Amino acid sequence: MRTPTVDFAHRTPYDEYVGTDVLHGLLRPRTDEPEEPAFLVTTQVMELYFGLIRTELGLAVRRLDEDDAAGATAVLRRVTRYLDVLTAAWSALGSLTPPRFNAFREKLGEASGFQSAMYRHVEFLLGNKSEPLIRPHRGSPEAYRELLAALRAPSLYDAVLALLSRSGHPIPAATLTHDPAEPYEPSPVVEAAWVRVYTELGPGDALWELAEALTDVAERFSEWRHRHLMAVRRTMGAKIGTGGSSGAGWLEHSMRRDVFPELWSARTAM
């Protein structure tokens, strides 16, 4: 039996590859409250996953543009697993009561998850576009430029509908040519296209599998948003958020916007 290598001239290859000194150095709580490190780590882990999901959704768009529905579906199935991890991360804060959160909340200042550029990228890729939501980043020129480009670029759903059109489904020209920076407007014609995908095709067909993968992503994203809402309600009730929003009220409003809306409404029409 071979034993692991234990002698290295410098840092271990693991530390160099993972960047452990950088990662652990990022944990800088501002109080001595024992719950604050868990709050920070949970937030930092989510940021890393937002960045990963952003990269994967961008890859899915490229696969769709290449008419590779199966390749895009494989990417979206990975995204589903990442969203499961994101949702599970809220459990680390499950015992954070209002008094314990309030013990370090004021040290957050105006910091809020609402200001996460990576999360905004994910929302834009999923089709939830809104120009005012990039304004907090005007003080960070690179982040602002990237978000502005994401706002103006076709979303994942735009790429999906273009693929449906190239596959012979009559997607309206107004839908295919709409301004990507504007909020998406659902179409009964698009809904009818998804009804045909489900009723005339079936498991094993590339478009059917893509539809189910998209639905999984939309469902998991909604679950993450719901867990976010419940974490806010549990720790701070209906207080105004640190970023100036209405807190739980803002999150409830955001949850009303479904991603890939006709994939949901089509189920009623079947």
Measured CA to CA in angstroms, residue 203 lies from 77, 120, 191 at distances of: 15, 33, 19
What is the distance, to the nearest Å, from the Cα of residue 132 to the centroid of all Cα atoms in its chain?
A: 18
Residues of each annotated binding site: 105, 228, 242
Q: What is the Cα–Cα distance from 171 to 161, expressed in whole angstroms?
A: 7
Q: Is-contact 182 131, C-beta < 8 A?
A: no
3 state SS of 176 = helix
Residues of each annotated binding site for substrate: 105, 242
Residue 166: both structure tokens together: 């190239």
Cβ-count burial of 19 within 10 angstroms (0-12 exposed, 13-18 middle, 19+ buried)? exposed
Q: Is-contact 266 211, C-beta < 8 A?
A: no
213-234: b (≥16 Cβ within 10 Å) or e: bbbbbbebbbebbebbbebbeb
Q: Which long-range contacts (CB under 8 A, 24 or more apart) does 163-166 make?
A: 163/64, 163/67, 163/69, 163/207, 163/210, 164/190, 164/193, 164/197, 164/207, 166/67
Q: What is the Cα–Cα distance from 69 to 67, expressed in whole angstroms?
A: 6
158: Cβ contacts below 8 Å, ≥ 6 apart: 127, 180, 184
Residues of each annotated binding site for heme: 228
- Best CA proximity match to 117, nearest among 98, 136, 132: 136
